[in-house]
Every structure is written in structure tokens, then in C-alpha cells.
Amino acid sequence: MESKKILLVQLYSNGDCLYATAVARQIKQDHPGCHLTWAIASFCKNIITGNPYIDAIMEVNTVAKDDIAAFRKFKKDLYGQHNKFDEIFITHNADTNQAFYDGCIRSSILRAYPYPLTVPVTPVLNLSEAEVERVKQFSFEHKLNNFTQVVLFEFAPQSRQLKITKEFAIAVAEEIVKNTDTAVILSSAQKVIHENKAIIDGSPLSLRETAALTHYCSLLIGCTSGITWISTSGAAKQLPMIQLLNAKTRWLNPVSRDFKRYNFPVDKVIELIEFDKEKTVDCVRAALVNFTGAKNKFNQDIPLNFKTTQSIVYNLLCYLEFAAIAKHIKINRKVYGNNISFYKEVILGFIVFPFKLIKNIIKKRLLVPKEKKLF
């Protein structure tokens, strides 16, 4: 009997794809012997390299981030290929899948899989021996063993949940290492050159290799982006973490909310939504000495708001997806009960829709190059 051909669609970003590795694992359990192809954007494909649950990778370069029209066309084309796949599962958090959002990105992605999840939700990441060896050499070159504490600092996050400048990250690192035997690894795609050997440029390492780097570190300063979530994968060491967050971001995804949702311990998570250089440095210094004490002193509760719902309602109304709006209401009512703030955002989504639609149409037309307007 020919094996079942299944397609999993999760295009980006790195953190979201890491969440979806649990779905790939579940598919393999639900359909033993199936051939599983993962459709993923080229810039994220490395995150699933070596994944034992993936048989093939379909690179997708036709769907830009936040381009719902392109994503809908991509879906239509997929479903038009009747003979290529026996089943298609789309977990990508766009279009009608936005209805699954309930304040937690991982739950949104996992809920998009229509069957129960019985496998662990810990992200699956398999590192090669070469990747592990490169990180070992990185540790040797920067003499990480000579430091009592090593702080891994995720800045310039791709999730766009928070803007941290290189200058801010360097200023924080300079204070942390001052008069201590602590090192700070500034990890992003941006190269950092600093005269202080205790302030280390992490850009030569890939995101995957940064998972291996956690085994040489004591603490993570994160922004709930790719490095934060790869540090929770099976290939990493779970570090105590200080998360710097923007409570007003469009898609808020606090680690504490995610961990509580999936019964992971939150005792080693500190979250800050109001901070400056001094508060960040004070929190890090305290956490390196006594994490529990630092959490009691510095941790800030993440306010529950539903502003994302207004955007979701708008996006779904653009394509007259009323059933998806109803699904979004049902899901959030189940999680939060009859929350007045939630219903307020739903109503506002309907009220502002015509005005926002007109504004966006005008904006797009003004951005069209003059030569294109002639045709």
C-alpha cells in the first residue's frame, strides 16, 4: 500500500515554525508511515533541517510576510493540486487561522491542527555534530570557561514585538560586565565589535547553533523572539530568563502566558514591560545572584488586553470571513469567559472597519509608482 502523502504549511517565522514541529510529530503519530512534506519560506527552512519527522521540504518564496492576498492565492493553488497530497494541514497564523489566536501564539498554531495533540509540545530541533563542534570552538575562542557567569542577550528580535537598539544592548552589556567576571554574548544578525573581551559578538553563530550555545550560558535576556524559543527546544539547555516586552505590541506572546498554558514552570522567568537601562542592569545583576529574589522584586505582570482582536476582525472582514470571526469569539470566550474588554474590541473591529479600509486603500494607491498607475 502506497504511503499517505501529507503537506504541513507553516511558512514563517522561526519561533512559529519551532512551535509547529510538535504538529509534524503528531502527524507522524496519527499517520504511521506517511510521507510528510513541510511548506516553509526559504529564510526559515534551516530551522527544520534534520528534523526526524519531516521527509521533504517545499520552499515557498511567493508569500511575503503579512501579504494575506498572496497567502490566500497560495492556499487556493495548493488545494487545486488534487493528486499531489492526500491531506493538507495549514497551521500558518494568517488569513482565517488568525481566528485561533487567544493571546498565545503557540496555542494558535497547535489549535489549527484539527486533531488532539498527544505528543510533547517541546520544539523539536536536531543539531548536527558540525554545529555542536562550531559552538564548542566558539566557546574555546572566547574563553567562556574563564567566566563565572555568561549572559546570552537576544536583541534585534525578528518577531517585531520589541525594538531594542544595538546601542541599548551594548550599554546594558557594558554595565553588566563592569567589575565582574561575567561575560555577555550579544546575539543577533548584527555584528558587534567591542574592545572589552567580556562583550562577545554572537552573530557568527546561526540561530540553530545558538541553541547549543545555551549549554555554555547562565542566563538569557530575551525578547520572546527566535532565540527565546529555540532555547526551549530539546537541543538547548533551559536557561533562567529575563524577558523584555512591549505590552502594546500587535501580537503579544509573553513567555509566562505560554508556559502556564502548557504547564511549564514559570519560576525561572522574569518579565519586564517598563524598563530602561538602569532597571534592566539591576534586574540582571540581582538575577545572577538570587533569581527568586530578583523575580519577587522586578517581575511585572503582563496586562491582559484584546487589542489584537480588533485587527483580526478587520482582516477577516476584508474577505467576508464571518464564520472565522464567530470562531475567534467562541475560542476566546472558552479561554477567558464573557470578558467585556474582548467583546468591546470585537465591536470596535466592526465599527472602524469601513474607515480603516478606505484609509488603507488610499494609502496603497498613493504608494503605487506613477508608471504603474498609467496602466
330-373 per-position pLDDT tens digit: 999 999 999 999 999 999 999 999 999 998 888 877 765 544 33
Q: Looking at the structure, do residues 9 and 107 belong to the same domain, yes or no?
A: yes
* The one-letter amino acid at 311: S
Task: Please tell me whether residues 100 and 224 are part of one structural domain.
Answer: no
Domain boundary residue, one of 82, 111, 140: 111
**Amino acid (one-letter) located at 7:** L
* 275, 154: one domain: yes
Enumerate residues 6+ apart whose C-beta is below 8 A from 88.
Answer: 6, 7, 9, 78, 79
Same domain, 105 and 216: no
How many domains does the chain divide into?
Answer: 3
Q: Do 239 and 203 have their domain in common?
A: yes
Q: How far apart are the C-alpha atoms of 283 and 167, rounded to whole Å?
A: 19
Q: What is the pLDDT along the chain (375 residues), one digit of tens a residue?
A: 568 999 999 999 999 999 999 999 999 999 999 999 999 999 999 999 999 999 999 999 999 988 999 999 999 999 887 678 999 999 999 999 999 999 999 999 999 999 999 999 999 999 999 999 999 999 999 999 999 999 999 987 655 556 688 899 999 999 999 999 999 999 988 899 999 999 999 999 999 999 999 999 999 999 999 999 999 999 999 999 999 998 877 778 899 999 999 999 999 999 999 999 999 999 999 999 999 999 999 999 998 889 899 999 999 999 999 999 999 999 999 999 999 999 999 999 999 999 999 988 888 777 655 443 333
- Among 265, 298, 331, the domain boundary falls at 298
Look at residue 144 and tell me if it is in a domain.
Answer: yes
* 52 and 152 co-located in one domain: no
| Cβ pair 177, 199 in contact under 8 A | yes
For residue 20, the enclosing domain spans 5-111
- Is 285 found in the same domain as 137? yes
Same domain, 187 and 277: yes
**Is 332 in the same domain as 367?**
yes
Distance of CA 73 to the CA centre of its chain: 24
Structural domain includes residue 120: no
Nearest to 269, CA basis, from 282, 285, 256, 284: 256
d(CA 14, CA 225): 8
Name the pTM for this structure.
0.91
| 124 domain-assigned | no
274 and 161, same structural domain?
yes
What distance in Å separates the CA atoms of residue 201 and residue 298, rounded to the nearest whole number? 28
The reply to whether 226 and 254 lie within a common domain is yes
- Give residue 116's identity as a one-letter amino acid code: P
Domain end call among 298, 313, 331:
298
- Residues 152 and 65 grouped into a single domain: no
Is 306 contained in some domain?
Answer: no
